[in-house]
Amino acid sequence: MAQHRIVKGVSVAPGLALGPAHVVHARPHVVPTWSVAEEDLAREVDRLREAVDQTAEELRRRQRAVAAQVGERDAGIFALHRTILTDPATLKGVEATIRDQRINAEAAVQALIDRVTKRLGATAAEGMRGWSADFSDPWRAVLDVLMQHDRESIVQGDEQVILAAAELTPQVVTFVARERILAVVTEAGGRFSHGAVLARSFGIPCVVGLSNLLSRLEQGMRILVDGDAGTVQLKPDQEDVDLFLARLERRKTREKKLGLHASLEPVTTDGKRFSVLVNVESLRDLDTFPPSHADGVGLLRTEFLYMERQQFPSEEEQYRLYRRVLEKMGDRPVTLRTLDIGNDKQLPYFKTPREANPALGWRGLRISLEWQDLLRVQLRAALRASAHGDLRILLPMVTSIEEVRDVHRIFDEVRRSLGDGGYEVPASVPVGIMIEVPSTLFVLPSLLAEVDFVSVGTNDLVQYLLAVDRDNPLVAKLYDVHHPAVLSALDQVARAAQAAGTPASVCGEMAGDYATALLLLGLGYDAVSVVPMLLPEVKYAVRETSSVEAREIATQALAQTTSEGVRSVLAGCRQRLHLRQVAEGSELPADSRKRETR
């Protein structure tokens, strides 16, 4: 395999694709500037207005198309872009630039984009960059119209393509009809950007953070996208293509077969019940699995409720949503994580100071405890909704016991005030913590004494244990979930939780790899929580394994001194399962190690 042609990025939406790249000119690199004679200025302004009208019409068309395919909620971004584009003051400003500086429309639009990007985009906060992208995206489309980029030729065709762009924006994700998009790959873009959300809704494999991708691509170059591992391979050779096609075939067969087992209970061959729950990070996720296939929601990332709005959601809005999730899950538990913003998850309407190290900064529970009204509103809504199901509260980014005590105090106050207000409040709602900051590992027994359950957030725990930014492509290679230190930490939590009789689960993405889920079962965890898509294979693997075998996997993995060693133990486990399934006429992918879970 031609390793040097593999570009490593960050996975935003899973899936595999092979096809020709089409580079989207959402960010023209060279915008020509020329001076316009006095008598031609009116015509230049007309050119601008026509391009704006044409773009606004195109945005309206995309809004309708997206609404028809995945719903109004996702389509809303195009309405926002149209509002931005048709803002009279902005348009007047661009017209004034044309007249005052006597320059062409393209140059005036580029000047506007540069100004806004400089003002908003200079910040390290993704939310602000996202805002700047929201502003620039429709104006870049105007540039495309003015410069008559080659969109028309590709739009007219019917070829399926892999869209490549500088940034992951909604314009890029909807550049041509959904059926024609095999995958989207970009140089920049966050997991929580509007473009990322759209790609996931459409089920388009998507990889971001691919440094210098565009300079290495040519229009039409064949590329191979692995949305599971977050990689792009340029010009794959025949061997790579054959491997890819075989993998794709296996994936299809597997999905079909596993689907048949998805409704069965995750019980080991010797009768041990293990819970397999789901992570939910948007309302759409809720519709992707039948509630009876999951043992509950192990992680309800409530950020989306805040991120998809223009202001903080009210108590009533939150209540309605939490109630909806609880009702949907019936008597199965729903673990609601309190707001975990900060770092990579910024709210456009909540401006926080620029931080040099946002991952070590103001995020998660730290914000909730400082802006206690936020937490109180969320807890009020959650407690009110808890009458409609089995609710648990999970606290993110806990560092110390004092924080847990503060939340308990606030929780009691909220409960009392709801009671005083005439609400029926359940006697007890379990409160648990995420184990994701290494400090918690060293005070586990005292923390466990104060909480009802723990859930290990390996996405963050790995980043903090190994000092590797989870979203930085420059150090993506070093983000190693199989590092023996990670296993040792997981073992430590499982043991301490068992000793204290406290239920423990893992909700970080590594738990979605079925061999790792078996390892966690062997370590003594009660549950894993995984993205809905992975439910069937994790459940199937549990049903195919005995608790003794799981324990053996854990023992062998803990004995390893290198990540490679741990990976080979997991590979052995996959191999055994694979052989067993082949013998039985079903199969799990022997090579799912390639899905680098994070």
Two tokens, residue 110: 């580029």
Size of the site for Mg ion (CB under 5 A): 3
CB 76 to ligand PEP: min, Å: 23
Q: Tell me the chain's radius of gyration from C-alpha atoms.
A: 25
Q: Is 473 in the site for Mg ion (CB under 5 A)?
A: no
Nearer residue to ligand PEP within complex by CB, 295 or 509: 509
Two tokens, residue 321: 């949503």
CB 335 to ligand PEP: min, Å: 11
Partner in contact with 58, chosen from Mg ion, ligand PEP, none, beta carbon below 5 to 8 Å by kind: none
Q: Rule CB under 5 A: choose which of 138, 457, 473, 522 binds Mg ion.
A: 457
Q: Is 167 in the site for Mg ion (CB under 5 A)?
A: no
CB 460 to Mg ion: min, Å: 4
Residue number, nearest CB to Mg ion: 460
Q: Which stretch binds Mg ion (CB under 5 A): 2-10, 12-20, 183-191, 433-441?
A: 433-441
CB 433 to ligand PEP: min, Å: 12
Q: Is 236 in the site for Mg ion (CB under 5 A)?
A: no
Nearer residue to ligand PEP within complex by CB, 67 or 283: 283
Q: Does the active-site annotation cover 573?
A: no
Residue of 81, 206, 482, 507 marked active site = 507
Q: Rule CB under 5 A: choose which of 106, 226, 460, 587 binds Mg ion.
A: 460
Concatenating the DSSP letter of every residue in 243-286 gives HHHHHHHHHHHHHHHHHHHTTS--B-TTS-B-EEEEEE-SHHHH
Pair 374, 312: CB distance under 8 Å: yes
* Rounded-to-integer distance, Cα 265 and Cα 244, Å: 32
Q: Please list, in sequence order, all residues whose beta carbon lies within 8 angstroms of the beta carbon of residue 219, skipping any fewer than 6 positions away.
A: 21, 22, 23
Check the CA dihedral 399-400-401-407 and report its sign: negative
CB 278 to ligand PEP: min, Å: 12
Partner in contact with 507, chosen from ligand PEP, Mg ion, none, beta carbon below 5 to 8 Å by kind: ligand PEP
Pair 247, 16: CB distance under 8 Å: yes
Nearer residue to ligand PEP within complex by CB, 167 or 340: 340
* Rounded-to-integer distance, Cα 306 and Cα 312, Å: 6
CB 165 to ligand PEP: min, Å: 25
* Rounded-to-integer distance, Cα 542 and Cα 276, Å: 9
Nearer residue to ligand PEP within complex by CB, 303 or 544: 303
Nearer residue to ligand PEP within complex by CB, 225 or 307: 307
Q: What are phi and psi of 428, to 5 degrees?
A: -145, 135
Residues in the chain: 598
Q: Which stretch binds Mg ion (CB under 5 A): 34-42, 52-60, 459-467, 560-568?
A: 459-467
| List of E strands, 127-242 | 161-167, 181-188, 206-208, 222-226, 231-234
Residue number, nearest CB to ligand PEP: 457
Nearer residue to ligand PEP within complex by CB, 374 or 511: 511
Q: Which stretch binds Mg ion (CB under 5 A): 4-12, 435-443, 516-524, 571-579?
A: 435-443
CB 459 to ligand PEP: min, Å: 3
Nearest in space to 398 (alpha carbons), one of 357, 352, 441: 441
Interface with ligand PEP by CB under 6 A: which residues?
299, 301, 340, 436, 457-460, 507-508
Nearer residue to Mg ion within complex by CB, 151 or 345: 345
Residue of 194, 388, 482, 483 marked active site = 194
- 333-362 b/e (C-beta count within 10 Å ≥ 16 → b): bbbbbbbbbbbbbbbbeeebeebeebbeee
Q: Does the active-site annotation cover 483?
A: no
* Rounded-to-integer distance, Cα 521 and Cα 532, Å: 19
Q: Please list, in sequence order, all residues whose beta carbon lies within 8 angstroms of the beta carbon of residue 466, skipping any fewer than 6 positions away.
A: 478, 479, 480, 483, 485, 486
Partner in contact with 508, chosen from Mg ion, ligand PEP, none, beta carbon below 5 to 8 Å by kind: ligand PEP
What ranges in 421-513 are assigned the alpha helix state H? 444-448, 458-466, 484-500
Binding site for Mg ion (CB under 5 A): 436, 457, 460
Active-site residue set? 194, 507
